[in-house]
Amino acid sequence: NAGVTQTPKFQVLKTGQSMTLQCAQDMNHNSMYWYRQDPGMGLRLIYYSASEGTTDKGEVPNGYNVSRLNKREFSLRLESAAPSQTSVYFCASKTGTFYGYTFGSGTRLTVV
């Protein structure tokens, strides 16, 4: 039982390049989330998908797009990376309103 799996774990991009961060969960959870964590701060919500087929903006969505590919997978795309997007990205999932969230191990992204 792997839980929430994120790939890649590390990535360096040049300004203007694009990339997709992948997230998959094997717990049959309905809702999935993307967060970013900047130094000295807590996590901030970028986008979420409350259920398969829906996506919504979180607190800091600018510069990102998401796709809920199926119930298991939720990807985050940076179309034109900027240095301000240097961060650690976490994916999370949960099954319902009164249940806890499970987090992946994170992707450390550096944009130079």
Partner 1 sequence: GIQVEQSPPDLILQEGANSTLRCNFSDSVNNLQWFHQNPWGQLINLFYIPSGTKQNGRLSATTVATERYSLLYISSSQTTDSGVYFCAVEMLGGGADGLTFGKGTHLIIQP
- Provide the binding-site residues for partner 1, judged by CB under 8 A: 30-31, 33, 35, 40-45, 48, 50-51, 56, 58-59, 88, 90, 92, 94, 97-103, 105-106, 108
How far apart are CB 66 and partner 1 at their closest, in Å?
13
CB of 16 to partner 1, least distance (A): 27
For partner 1, the closer CB: 1 or 98 = 98
Nearer to partner 1, 51 or 70 (CB): 51
Minimum CB distance to partner 1, residue 89 (Å): 11
Tell the smallest beta-carbon distance from residue 38 to partner 1 (Å): 11
| Listed residue (19, 31, 41) closest to 96, CA to CA | 31
Query: Within 10 A of 35 (CB to CB), how many other CB atoms are there?
Result: 25
Give CA–CA dist 28/37, Å, rounded.
Answer: 26
Concatenating the DSSP letter of every residue in 62-91 gives: TTEEEEE-SSSBEEEEESS--GGG-EEEEE
With H, G, I as helix, E, B as strand and everything else as coil, classify residue 11: strand
